[in-house]
Structure 1
Amino acid sequence: MTAHRIEAVLFDLGGTLTAADPAPDTLNLLPQAMPCLQDLAERALPTGLLPDHKNRDSKQLRPLLDEVLDDCEALRPFPAPDRVATLAVRMKAAALRRCVLVCGSADAVSAGLNAGFWTVGTALSGALNAQQMQQWEEQDSDTHDRLRLQATMALMNAGAHYVIDSVDELGSCLDDIEVRLGKAQLP
């Protein structure tokens, strides 16, 4: 594996592939989740999933991901790096600095940074619960801008390397990270 190649892309489930606070006992993927996961498969980038604290059943995602961290109760919660680092090691990543965490919360960004990962924050899916995401189309542009700015600032203040609205914008971040890795830059 070359030094400029991303070794693993990990997703914190809530706020990236689902709404930040989905309805109880559901796993409703965001519309942009499937194209994102398909793009990662085409890029041949290993992907992993950190289920949220409610431990929703992620069986429908298993065929789309290389690894799912199921037994995370014994690991410290975010912002500790335990869950993130454990999943990357299980995915056989040789260097955590060549791994990417995609997440929607400031605590998850901190966990990724604490583990030495590149971090990509998802502002809108991370800030909005399931009901707010359904109401998004009905809201005016001022409300959109306010919510986007609040979420973006929270993720940036936590130290995220990149902040995007949702995972459908992830490809350009990954391209940039690989360029930066090629220049021997560290997260």
Structure 2
Amino acid sequence: MPHPQIEAVIFDVAGTLLPCDAHRTTSTSLLPEAAELLSHLSANQQRIGLLTQQPLQLPSALDHYPCLSTEQTRRGAPAPDLPVLAAIALESHALRQCVLVSGSDAGIAAGLNAGMWTVGTALSGSLEHATMADWQAMPAAERDQLRMQATITLLNAGAHYVIDAVDELAHCLTDIAQRLHKGERA
């Protein structure tokens, strides 16, 4: 019997691949870490799906990934509907072999409710009330405080892992793959 592996990585776009405040701006550029990660995942034949909790203008770099929005479901996060529909669109066989990456506690709850592994992004997800420019202008102590609050929020939501941003995701995916190989479930 083959060992289970990660079937799909699903991103809650705002707060992971785009800044958290993407729905309030006209900028449609990916976070600097996102383009490299998506290229790496694609090169490794990883299925990638996108979720949007709010209407967003997605950058053209995301055009070839399946994207679902809350407009396609009757219930938004923390209901599992959107992550489950994304997994189905990616032809996943087992939700427990899917990973949801989100910068919000509601997104993490939706992934958990769907039975998926979850990874929270503390920095890109925590900046909903601040722009990236505001973040970079903050004193280090204030940034650390914001990072800690976001990490605690995501851990309290039940995230299996919390990272600063998606450039740290590869380590989580490796660990999840090892845990799946051992027979662990989300």
Give the structure-1-normalised TM-score. 0.91
The residue number in structure 2 matching 1:176 is 175
Q: Is the 8 A contact 2:15 2:124 kept in 1?
A: yes
> Structure 1's 70 and 160: CA in aligned 2 closer, same or farther, altered over 3 A?
closer
The residue number in structure 1 matching 2:147 is 148
Give per-residue Cα distances to partners, 1:132-156, cap 9 Å, x unaligned.
Answer: 3123332222111101000000000
- Bigger Cα displacement from structure 2, 165-174 vs 32-41: 32-41
> Structure 1's 71 and 104: CA in aligned 2 closer, same or farther, altered over 3 A?
closer
SS in 1 for 2:72: coil
Q: Is the 8 A contact 2:127 2:135 kept in 1?
A: no
The residue number in structure 1 matching 2:29 is 28
Q: Is the 8 A contact 2:49 2:67 kept in 1?
A: yes
Provide the C-alpha distance between the structure 1 equivalents of 2:119 and 2:126, rounded to a whole number of angstroms.
Answer: 14
1:161 partner letter: H
SS in 2 for 1:69: strand
Unaligned runs of 5+ in 1: none
Q: Is the 8 A contact 1:50 1:69 kept in 2?
A: yes
The residue number in structure 2 matching 1:137 is 136
The Cα of 1:129 is off from its aligned counterpart by 3.6
Provide the C-alpha distance between the structure 1 equivalents of 2:35 and 2:148, rounded to a whole number of angstroms.
Answer: 26
The Cα of 1:16 is off from its aligned counterpart by 0.3
The residue number in structure 1 matching 2:8 is 8
Unaligned runs of 5+ in 2: none
- Please tell me the root mean square deviation across aligned C-alpha atoms, in Å: 1.9
Give per-residue Cα distances to partners, 1:44-84, cap 9 Å, x unaligned.
Answer: 11000012312434544113x3x222573333100000010
The residue number in structure 1 matching 2:17 is 17
> Structure 1's 47 and 127: CA in aligned 2 closer, same or farther, altered over 3 A?
same
Provide the C-alpha distance between the structure 1 equivalents of 2:118 and 2:148, rounded to a whole number of angstroms.
Answer: 18
Q: Is the 8 A contact 1:110 1:158 kept in 2?
A: yes
Provide the C-alpha distance between the structure 2 equivalents of 1:71 and 1:124, rounded to a whole number of angstroms.
Answer: 23
SS in 2 for 1:49: strand
SS in 1 for 2:32: coil
> Structure 1's 2 and 103: CA in aligned 2 closer, same or farther, altered over 3 A?
farther
Provide the C-alpha distance between the structure 2 equivalents of 1:91 and 1:172, rounded to a whole number of angstroms.
Answer: 22
Provide the C-alpha distance between the structure 2 equivalents of 1:7 and 1:115, rounded to a whole number of angstroms.
Answer: 14
Give per-residue Cα distances to partners, 1:92-125, cap 9 Å, x unaligned.
Answer: 0000000000000000000000000000000000
SS in 2 for 1:128: helix
> Structure 1's 144 and 71: CA in aligned 2 closer, same or farther, altered over 3 A?
closer
Provide the C-alpha distance between the structure 2 equivalents of 1:175 and 1:24, rounded to a whole number of angstroms.
Answer: 34
1:39 partner letter: H
Counterparts in 2 of 1:14-163, with a 5 A limit? 14-22=14-22, 23-57=24-58, 59-63=60-64, 65=65, 67-69=66-68, 72-129=71-128, 131-163=130-162
Percent identity reads 44
Give the structure-2-normalised TM-score. 0.92
The count of residues paired between Structure 1 and Structure 2 equals: 185
